[in-house]
Amino acid sequence: MIGSSRARGDNNTERIFNAAVCPFCACLCDDVVIRVKNNEIEEIRNACRFGVAKFRSYQKRLKRPIVDGTPANYEDAIARAVDILRESHKPLIYGLSNSSYEAQQVALRIAKYKRGVIDISESICHNLLYAALRARYPFYYALLDEIREKATLIVYWGSNPVVSHPRHLARYSVYPTGRYAMKGVTDRTVIAIDVIEPEFKKQWFVPVMPGEDAMIANTLTRLIKGEPVSASNHRIAELKSIADKLRSASYGIIFTGLGVLSGANAYENIKAILSLVDTLNKKGNRYVVFPMKGHYNVMGAVLLLMRETGYPFGVDFSAPDKRFEPGRTTVMGVLKEVDAALVVGADPVASLPAAKVRELLNVPLVVLDPFMSLTASFASVVLPVAITGVESEGIAYRMDGLPLKLDRIINSEYPSDKVILEQIYEGCSDSGVK
């Protein structure tokens, strides 16, 4: 019976995890050492502050299901969730970037069966990158391990890993030793391009006004091509220095963050950066662009949807042939069309614009989450799930697409989101109603 599964009988022993994977951000650091005693985490080594907080978050978890604002048991809550989905003709399945790959697979099955829409946070965060790729802008990419070994020039553009991915600098980019950077940071050139100067160690900081990134990238491209640039550009000397640095590196990497992909000029920004990297490669340098993914398994969701549907997010199964139209089949465009929402590990009420939140709150909401959230506070049904990577195991994909196994660190009575989603799927499909 869901919710009553007993913890394993080794709660009183001390256990050490020597290579636990941190389930907070998409770095998925896999060198975390955790000591567990009496089923409590006693010590955590190697994780950053976000990782430590995530591993300890089970102490602040949501404890009981909620149905219409009242505490309930799992059976009643799941039955109500099944009723909502049975009655729905076109549900939205949303979130999933903080879920295991196995849970994502079941969620996709529900979306297909119910002929609903499945969408993930990627449709808001990185949608314009995909738009540029669909427009056939060239994309040079590499795994983080190759970047660590070979990159001698690092650019963080619109991205401040100190506040978003604290160990990214130490594990994959600036500080680790590599085949071509045997002294680590002293063998690398580090450039930050952003509206606010980031805290990490860099030789060059190029300040930009919001929306100015495309102009900077286009100017660099022209300088690298040897083409004339506007004499009125008061930043020519500074950008010439940056262009020289870019040209002098045999292997460089541009990590792009949401600073590039947000704002009125975002599409122009990413197109200009992709063109800059294309130019550098055509000049004989090896450069790659690497989008900084946030949630720990957003890549798992993207890869699953790509494998199963051919699209990275926002897939609508209500049409005879599935549809993918960013802006129409994604959360920002589809809320008027759906008649229920199953939200898994996300808080769209806290993150969407007010008008979209109003649309979302017009339909019955089922929320699966280990924690209380703003969205959960408006939901018809809230189902607490185990924290993947802490209370349950599962597969997640690192930001470069490498699959990693997340451990169950402590024993827990809470069911995983995969288990709950399977129950919901079985309840819907047993009914024979789509």
Which residues here bind ligand SF4, judged by CB under 6 A?
Answer: 22, 24-25, 27-29, 47-48, 50-51, 165-167
Residue placing its CB nearer to ligand SF4 in the complex, 33 or 229: 33
Query: At its nearest, how many Å lie between ligand SF4 and the CB of residue 187?
Result: 23
Smallest separation (angstroms) from ligand SF4 to the CB of 343: 23
Q: How far is the CB of 188 from ligand SF4 (least distance, A)?
A: 19
Nearer to ligand SF4, 245 or 405 (CB): 405
The secondary element (H helix, E strand) that includes residue 381 is strand 381-384
- From residue 186, how far is each of 174, 176, 206, 288 by CA, in Å? 9, 10, 20, 21
Residue 145 beta carbon to ligand SF4: minimum distance, rounded to whole angstroms:
15
Q: Which is nearer to ligand SF4, 51 or 314 (CB)?
A: 51
Q: Which is nearer to ligand SF4, 24 or 311 (CB)?
A: 24
**Cβ neighbours of residue 304 closer than 8 Å, sequence gap 6 or more:** 101, 104, 105, 108
Query: Given the complex with ligand SF4, which of 44 and 272 has the nearer CB atom?
Result: 44
**Is 23 or 333 the residue whose CB approaches ligand SF4 more closely?**
23
Tokens of 389: 């990577």
Beta pairing class for 403-406 and 204-207: unpaired
Comparison of 23 and 384: residue with beta carbon closer to ligand SF4? 23
User: Where does residue 323 rank: exposed (0-12), middle (13-18), buried (19+ CB within 10 A)?
Assistant: middle
CB 224 within 8 A of CB 276: yes
The least distance separating ligand SF4 from the CB of residue 52, rounded to whole angstroms, comes to 8
Burial of 299: CB neighbours in 10 Å, binned 0-12, 13-18, 19+: buried
Nearer to ligand SF4 by Cβ, of 144 and 215: the residue is 144
The minimum distance between CB 340 and ligand SF4, in angstroms, equals 33
Residue placing its CB nearer to ligand SF4 in the complex, 121 or 275: 121
Name all contacts of 261-268 with Cβ < 8 Å and 24+ positions apart.
261/125, 261/126, 261/128, 261/129, 261/158, 261/291, 263/210, 263/211, 264/211, 265/211, 265/212, 265/213, 265/214, 266/128, 267/128, 267/131, 267/132, 268/214
Name the minimum Å distance from CB 47 to ligand SF4: 4
Spatial strand order in the sheet of 315-316:
70-71, 66-67, 381-384, 365-369, 340-344, 91-95, 117-119, 315-316
Q: Which is nearer to ligand SF4, 22 or 421 (CB)?
A: 22
The distance of closest approach from Cβ of residue 53 to ligand SF4 in the complex, given in angstroms and rounded to an integer, is 9
The three-point CA angle 393-397-401 to 5° equals 160
180 burial via Cβ count (<10 Å: 0-12, 13-18, 19+)? middle
> CB of residue 316 vs ligand SF4: minimum separation in angstroms?
32
- Cβ 164 to ligand SF4, closest distance in Å? 9
Burial of 274 (0-12, 13-18, 19+ CB in 10 A): buried
